[in-house]
């Protein structure tokens, strides 16, 4: 008599959290202000303001935009803020900083609003592999929210995980 193969993973009470599922849809754009600087390093206020006022900001409609400077120029804070004021009417989100900063802030907002009630006293696996750029900080934020309520926390896949925490 042949033994029936039982899928223990499918029958387990483990709850998987996949941050990739929470990843907000939309184009990401890195907006570099360095082309508007003289020799890429000197900000001339009049020229900078002229470039900002004539730029076609509508091209960033519904995009997530990080505003940065790719050179080592010392830029006054107001310059980034001025660019941000032009993007806000069009972009889904603007952040002064790198693409990594943008992704981190997006996940901070998503995770702050995430209903955690289903993870109370539950064994939880945080899925590790993703095709989207999930920032490391997002995993840390998730752990901070889970640890006080989850029974246990693991990382990886249900078939092969690394235990992180057990109450």
pLDDT of 39 higher than 70 = yes
Instruction: Please state, in angstroms and rounded to a whole number, the distance separating the CA atoms of residues 36 and 58.
Output: 18
Confidence of residue 9 (pLDDT cuts 50, 70, 90): very low
98 pLDDT above the threshold of 50: yes
- How far is Cα 19 from Cα 13, in angstroms, rounded to an integer? 19
User: How far is 107 from 21, CA to CA, in rounded Å?
Assistant: 11
User: Looking at 91, 114, 138, which one is the last position of a domain?
Assistant: 91
Same domain? 115 vs 142: yes
Ranges 45-49, 51-55, 85-89, 129-133: which has the least confidence: 129-133
Residues 50 and 82 in one domain: yes
110 and 150 inside one domain: yes
Nearest to 52 by CA among 76, 80, 83, 73: 83
State residue 159's pLDDT score: 78
Q: Does some domain include residue 38?
A: yes
Domain region containing 116: 8-24+103-166
Domain final position from 43, 61, 91: 91
Work out the mean pLDDT of the chain and round it to a whole number: 92
pLDDT at residue 108, as a whole number: 97
Q: How many CB atoms lie within 10 A of CB 43?
A: 18
CA 57 to mean position of chain CA atoms: 23
CA distance 14 to 56: 49
Provide the percentage of residues in the chain whose pLDDT is more than 70. 93
The candidate with the shortest Cα–Cα distance to 86, out of 68, 109, 61, 69, is 61
Angle between helices 77-87 and 45-54 (to 10 degrees): 10
Residue 3 pLDDT? 72
**Average pLDDT of the residues in 96-107:** 96
Given this model, what pLDDT does residue 128 score?
Answer: 84
Q: Is there a single domain that holds both residue 12 and residue 49?
A: no
Tokens of 131: 């095709």
Beta strands in 7-159 (DSSP E): 15-17, 28-32, 64-68, 93-96, 123-127, 152-157
Residue 80 is assigned to a structural domain of this protein:
yes
Boundary (domain end) residue, out of 42, 70, 91:
91
Model confidence pLDDT, tens digit, residues 122-140: 999 999 888 898 999 999 9
In-domain check, residue 139? yes
Q: How far apart are CA 58 and CA 65, in angstroms?
A: 12
pLDDT score recorded for residue 29: 98
1 domain residue, yes or no? no
- Does a structural domain hold residue 3? no
Q: Count structural domains, the chain.
A: 2
Do residue 13 and residue 52 come from a single domain?
no
pLDDT digits (tens, 9 = 90+) for 56-87: 999 999 999 999 999 999 999 999 999 999 99
């Amino acid at each position: 008599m042949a033994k029936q193969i039982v899928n223990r993973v499918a029958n387990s009470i483990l709850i998987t959290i996949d941050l990739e599922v929470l990843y907000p849809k939309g184009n990401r754009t890195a907006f570099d202000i360095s082309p508007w600087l003289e020799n890429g390093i000197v900000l001339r206020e009049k020229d900078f303001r002229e470039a900002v006022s004539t730029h076609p900001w509508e091209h960033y409609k519904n995009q997530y935009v990080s505003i940065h400077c790719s050179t080592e120029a010392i830029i006054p804070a107001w310059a980034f803020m001025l660019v941000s004021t032009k993007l806000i009417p069009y972009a889904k989100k603007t952040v002064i900083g790198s693409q990594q900063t943008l992704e981190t802030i997006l996940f901070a907002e998503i995770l702050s609003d995430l209903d955690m009630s289903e993870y109370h006293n539950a064994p939880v696996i945080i899925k590790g592999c993703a095709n989207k750029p999930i920032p490391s900080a997002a995993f840390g934020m998730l752990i901070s929210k889970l640890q006080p309520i989850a029974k246990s926390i693991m990382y990886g896949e249900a078939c092969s995980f690394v235990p992180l925490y057990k109450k």
